[in-house]
Structure formats: C-alpha cells, structure tokens
Structure 1
C-alpha cells in the first residue's frame, strides 16, 4: 500500500479528511449515490466541498458552494483571462475594471453593480487568494423561482472546476477565499459585533434549513444571535426590525427579540408586544411567549395593562373593563390570538365584555374555521351574538347647532347680548 501511495500520492479521501481537520470542519463519507464531502462553518455560513458528475459526458467536477442572504441580488463572476475571453471583449462583452492594472489584465470580472464589484476586489487579501489559484471561476449563482429549494433572498457563492482537486494547498486557499468573500459581501469586511446595521441585516435573513445531500444552510442561529446583539447594543433604530419577527415560527428567536425590545426600552415597541400577549406557544426555555411579553411590558411601564389582560384571560373581566389606557386595538388583537381549541371561552367572553364590536369580522372568520359544534366554536358564536346585538342598538343622534335665542332660560333673565356673537356676512342690499 505504501508503494502505491508513493507512486500515485495520497487518495482524495485522505486529503479531504486532512482538509476537514485544518479548517475545523467535518468530513462526510460518501456512498454509491452520494459523494463524500467536507463542510466547515465560518460565521453565519456553511461552506461545502464535494464533487459533481455530468451524466451525459461522465466528467467529474469539484465544487465549493455557500448559500448566503443576498436581498440586493448582487451578481458577479470572475475567471482568468484567455484567448476566448479576449475574443469576447472584442465582440462587446466588456468586463469591469477594478482599478488594479495587473489584476485587471489577468482576470475577467463581470457584475451587475460595478461600484460594488470594485469594492469587493479592492480587498488585497481577496485579490491575493484569487491570484494564488491557477484555475478559478467564482460567481454568485442565483436561486429563484417556484422550484427553488432556497428561501427568498438566498443565493449561492459558487466555485466549480473540472476534475477532482486533491491539492491540499489549493483546497485550503479556496476555503479561505470563500470566507473572505462572504465577509465582504455580507458584512462589508468589517468586525460586525457592534454594528447595528449589520445585525439588522442578519435578522432579516430567512430562518430554517436547506438540505441538499447535506445541511448547507442554517438560518436560525445567526438570527437569534443578531436579536440578542441588537438588545445589547440598545439602538432604538433596531426596534421595527425586532418587532417584525415577533410572529416568527422560531419561538427561540421570538423570545430573544422580546428581550431585546425590553432592553432597548423604546415605547414604540409596546403596541407590537401587546399583540403577542395571547401567544401561548413555548419558547426554548419552556416558558410561554406570553410570559416573555408580560415581563417586557412590565419593564416598559405597562404593568396595569398586563394585569388586566391576564386577569381577563383567566375569566376575571373587571380590570379589563375598567382599563382606560391606550392600545385597545392591540388588546383586541391579542384576545383574538388567544382563542385556541378548548381555550376560547375566556378570551371570547372578554371581547364581548369590552364591547369589541370591531372584532366581529375576525370572530366570524374564527367561527368558520372551527365550526360551531365544539366548545371553541360555541364560545365564539356566543360572543358574536352578544356583539351583534350591541352593534344593532340605535346610536345617539348627533348634536345639532342650536340657536342661542331658543335655549331655555330662567324667568326674568335678560336675553343674551347678540353683539358678542359671531356675525355672518351681510347679503348685498340687506338691512344694516
């Protein structure tokens, strides 16, 4: 075996296993239908190295890829200059010059945003890593359309080369290049720990996972980390972005966003938080989201509102009926959100008790979904009947303008001084 190794060199598996150790990644064994792969995480991204076979030609390709959040739809492609690329330029396929003459001479660079292309390749480290590779075709691969398994806004940094790459140094350079380019594309090459704008961008990225042979995208943890960082940084500008994830299906993220809003302390967060007071789903710590919201609202000075709502959710409506503070619309939203199978009686009754006629369209939709033959449907139907009865009551007539002279007055009381009343314009030719 040692003689064969000295003759043919180390196997791909040996080299790729060594690569996995050097980049702090994981080697995945292959099978008949799935090639082996190396995966490594760098900040928010997963870089995957594997091979791909063309079923028509039988050719094998080595590829690296890393999905990333790309809402701006920035595209670029870079490859070495050849005779054919020079021919393409002569035919009008001009590339973008980035302002570094030797690099511009050696590489063809295309993109849909020239200014951003120049900023990307203004990085000396990125240019050096690319220069160290004898063959390169690096691009952003779009993933759009109904058949895409990628979430909206997620594209892929992609490298592909003919043959199986077994040069450990070249593979390590490719991993380093991917890490640098991703940092530049997503974090503008900055240390982002204290950058509010970058954390807001991270939070806007999709959650969930993408699997293609292996897990190649994991969006939940970076978003949770971003929410916690925004709370630590305390900038009110992050409030709307944090509030936008309060209905996310990742309850761990929701809990962190709630805590962040409480730490920031901006009163503009109160309304969105009140809407979630009816959310009984469990967060990752086992506590209902509602409890996290209640804690946050107390920190924001809304303890009276919280106590009134929670009492009503338990069947005691007196405090909520007496509550005369703000956020009625949000309280109604939270009560509607509280209506769940076998737990609708109290929130439905609370809506009737506070005369929430504006909730009728929502309640009718809930009744349609649940039907009227179960406890939830019956409670909702009863609330609808009570609110419809109230809505049909005659309204007080609007107050009309009353002539001062017609008002009742005590006997002997002088008439009001008409000279002090506002005068209308005199008609032409009328009495003076």
Structure 2
C-alpha cells in the first residue's frame, strides 16, 4: 500500500479525509454502493461533498458535486458554466443570458439568471469571481426544490456545484468550499460575515426549522433560528416583535424559550401581548419550566397582573379574574382557551363562563368536539357553552351612535318654539 502511495500519490479517500480536517468537517465512510462524503458547516449552512455516477449502464460518467441547501424565499436563481459547455441549458430552464460587466469573466463564462441586477451584484464580488476562475470545470447553479419532488421545506433551494470526474486536488476542493461560503453569505445576508442588524436576523428566524435526512443530515434549520432569536433579544429592536411572536408556539420549544427571553429583553410594551396566551399553554412538550419562563418574562415587562390572574383562575379562584380591568383581557381569554385541554381544563371552562367571555365560544366548541362530555372537563365545557350561548342570544342595547339626536325628547327646560307663533285661546285679548 505504501509502495502504491509513493507511486500514484495519496488516494482520493485520503485527500478527502484531509479536506474534512481542514474545513473542520466530518468524513463519512460510505459503504456498498454508497460513496464516501465530506460534510462541513459554514455559517448557517451544511455543505455536502460527494460523487455520483450517471450513464446508460454501458458508458458511465462520475461527477463530483457539492450541495448546500439554503433559505431562498424570493426564488432567486442563477447558473454559470464555462463558455462552450452545456450551451442552451439555462434557456430551457427559463433563465436569460447576462453580462456582468467584467470583460474577462464575461468572455470565459456563460452566466444566466432571472434577476439581472442581483446577478451582476453577485458577480461583482471579486472573491466569488476568483473562486470560480480557479475551478477548471464548473457548473454552478441554484436547484429549485418544489413541493412535489423536493425533500426540503418550502422556501429552501440548493446551491449546487457539479464537475465531471472525481476531484482529488485538495487545493481545488478547499477553494470550492470557500467559494460556497462566500456565495451563501452574499445571497442570504448580503455578504455580511458578522451581521448585526435586526432585518437579517428576522430573515434567519423566519426560515424553516427541522431537518432533512438522506444518508446523513442535509438540512438542519433549528440552530440558526435559535441563534437568530437570541441575537434579536440582544439587539432589542421592536421591529422584531412580530417575528418573535410567530415562533412562540413552534414545535421547537427551545426556539420558543429563546423567543420568550428575547421579548423579555426588549423592555417594550408591545412585547407582553404575545406572551399572555402562553400562560395557559397545555402542550406536554412545553412543560412547567416553559410556562414559568413566560411568567418571569411578563413580570420583567411589568405585567405581573395577568400572570397572577390566570394562575388564580386555573386554580379555581375566579375573584382576581372578575376584578381584572387591565389591557390584556383578550390574551387572558386566549390563555384560558389553551388551558382547556390541560389538567386545569374544568377550571378554565368555568372561568370563561364567569367572565361572560362569549368570544371564547368557538374555542369551547372545538374542545367539546374533541372531548365530548365523558369527564369533568368535558362537562364543564358543555356547561360553559350553554351559559355563554344563552348570554350571546340576549338582545343588545342599540349603540348610541345609531340614534339621531334630533329625534330624542327634550327636557322641560329646553328652549321651545316662539310663544308668539302659538294659536291663542278664544278668551285671549
């Protein structure tokens, strides 16, 4: 074996192992009919290097490919390859030829895209152009993953490199990893390596979560979203409140906890509203620790009253609830609605009836369809529905705005008509 190495040099497997060490990645051994691969994380993205074979069985060609799924909500697409290769492929995919304004680059490569300004901005990056130039064979594109054929979540596409033959040049492979990192930073974060602005982190937070598995993990969206929530809390920009509110009920309860902490750090009045309904969160995955975190966050925001009000109601004490006159009535009703399917469901139903919360009827009916009346909670829900439906059926007073002022009776002291215009009696002088 050492003799062969001295004669032919290190094997591709050895070189790819070395690459994995240099990019701080992982080498996957592979197996029967499964090629070995290298994976590494750069920023928010997982890069996967492997090979595949394509052909008709008689003549097969081996290709090296590098893939990186990324969040691409606006569907920006481009394709680039050396002039003379794959001519016309991009046009068939609906892309147009684009010159980017760098004569040598425009001469050596065919560049296609669906947004010329963005394509020119991308290839105006000198590092990206240099990284493409050093690749002797290159076909680089954004592969779209639709609903029917893709493994990835909605909005996630794939930056995809392909070259004929199995590449075993370590410098070329390392340059390819660096190129991918630079392109991904540009198309996702406008080239910022250390972003410190809220809009960028809001975009990260709104990317899909979860993971996609093949032979190994190809997409893992939880980590970047969690980091984004933490960064938004640190930055304290109120513009992030709606995005943080959107993930409070996410299946990833770690992400939800990060969002709760971020809202608490905002110290902004609008941050409390999305948190109040979570006081009744009955999800088993959330647990007591999560709800305690919500309560602590509300207290930090100066909103301890809703916390004590909901906790008392879920314990069967409705006095604080009936006396509550703060600005979070809707949130408290939502919290009680969420609690209907938890261990305090009967108390939650009775509490909604006590405060005449007719707006909770849709939620109560939903829970009734799920639970029936087979237990104490179901019976309490049915009783609450009966009380609230009876109340909702009562006639309501007309709104003051519906009454014309001129038609109202006037008081005796109100000025009347001129007495001189009144008819006089027969005995009048």
* Contact 1:46/1:217, CA 8 A, preserved across alignment: yes
1:343-354 matches, cutoff 5 A: 343-354=344-355
Is the CA contact 1:81–1:106 (under 8 Å) kept in the aligned structure 2?
A: yes
1:300 Cα deviation (Å)? 1.9
* Segment of structure 1 superposing worse, 274-283 or 307-316: 274-283
Deviation at 1:374, TM superposition (A): 2.6
Q: 1:418 aligns with which of 406, 416, 419?
A: 416
Structure 1 residue 64 displacement after superposition: 0.4
Question: Pick from 235, 239, 242: which aligns with 2:241?
Answer: 239
Q: 2:306 — aligned with what? A: 305
Question: Does structure 1 conserve the Cα–Cα contact (< 8 Å) formed by 2:257 and 2:293?
Answer: yes
Change (3 A) 1:162 1:316: same
Kept in 1, the 8 Å contact 2:278–2:291? The answer is yes
- Structure 2 partner of 1:324: 325
- Give the corresponding residue for 1:387: 388
Which blocks of at least 5 consecutive residues in structure 1 are unaligned? Answer: 408-414, 421-432
**Pairwise CA RMSD of aligned residues?**
2.4
CA distance in 2, matches of 1:7, 1:256: 56
Q: 1:88 to 1:366 in 2, by over 3 A?
A: closer
What is the aligned partner in structure 2 of residue 412 from structure 1? none
Shift of 1:289: 2.7
The 3 A distance-change label for structure 1 pair 84 and 149 is: closer
Note the C-alpha offset of 1:394.
5.0
Q: 1:367 and 2:368 equivalent?
A: yes
Question: 2:264 matched to 1:262?
Answer: yes
Are residues 115 and 267 of structure 1, via their aligned partners in 2, closer, same or farther at CA, if it must alter by over 3 Å? same
Q: Deviations over 1:145-197 (max 9, x none)?
A: 23422101000000111221111111111111111111111111113441211
> Which residue in the other structure is 2:129 paired with?
127
Q: Distance in 2 between matches of 1:94 and 1:396?
A: 65
Structure-2 separation of matches of 1:125 and 1:281 = 48
| Shift in alpha-carbon separation, 1:339–1:392, aligned structure 2, 3 A | same
Normalization by structure 1: what TM-score? 0.89
- Cα deviation digits, residues 367-417 of structure 1 (max 9, x gap): 101222133322211221222233344545777754125x6xxxxxxx443
Aligned residue for 1:227, secondary structure, equals helix
The corresponding residue for 2:203 is 201
**Residue pairs, 1:332-347, within 5 angstroms:** 332-347=333-348
C-alpha deviations, 1:327-380, integer Å up to 9, x for none? 222211111111225431111111111111121122111110122213332221
* Aligned mates of 2:244, 2:81 — CA distance in 1: 40
Give unmatched runs, 5+ long, in structure 2: 419-429
Out of 192, 216, 227, the position equivalent to 1:190 is: 192
Tell me if structure 2 keeps the 8 A contact 1:357–1:391: yes
Q: Which residue of the partner structure matches residue 403 of structure 1? A: 409
2:252 pairs with one of 226, 240, 250? 250
Paired residue secondary structure (1:403): coil
Moved more, 176-185 or 292-301: 292-301
How far is the alpha carbon of 1:287 from its aligned partner? 4.6
- 1:37 maps to 2:37: yes
Contact 2:96 2:114 in 1 (8 A): no
> What count of residue pairs does the alignment treat as equivalent?
409
Contact 1:143 1:154 survives alignment (8 Å): yes
Q: 1:429 — aligned with what?
A: none
| Per-residue Cα deviation, 1:296-339 (whole angstroms, up to 9, x for no partner) | 22222211122111111111110011101122222111111112
Runs of 4+ residues over 6 Å off in structure 1? 86-89, 397-400
Q: Which residue of 2 aligns with 1:315?
A: 316
* Alignment deviations for residues 80-125 of structure 1 (CA, whole Å, 9 cap, x no partner): 1127749999xx9862111111111111110111111111111111
1:110 is aligned to 112
2:359 is paired with a residue of what secondary structure?
Answer: helix
Question: 2:424: which partner in 1?
Answer: none
Decide whether aligned partners of structure 1 residues 63 and 398 sit closer, same or farther in structure 2, where only a CA change above 3 A counts. Answer: closer
- Check conservation: 1:98, 1:121, Cα contact below 8 A: yes
User: Cα 1:46–1:277, aligned 2, differ >3 Å: closer, same or farther?
Assistant: same
2:425 is matched with none
3-state secondary structure, aligned to 2:174: helix
The residue number in structure 1 matching 2:172 is: 170
Moved more, 238-247 or 223-232: 238-247
| Other structure's SS at 2:160 match | strand
Residues 93 and 304 of structure 1, relative CA distance in 2, 3 Å threshold:
closer
Equivalent position SS for 1:271:
coil
Paired position in structure 2 for 1:180 = 182
8 Å contact from structure 1 (residues 140, 155) kept in 2: yes
SS in 1 for 2:186: helix
Tell me if 1:214 matches 2:216: yes
- Using the TM superposition, name which of 37-46 and 49-58 deviates more: 49-58
Structure-2 residue corresponding to 1:430: none
**Counterpart in the other structure of 1:410:** none
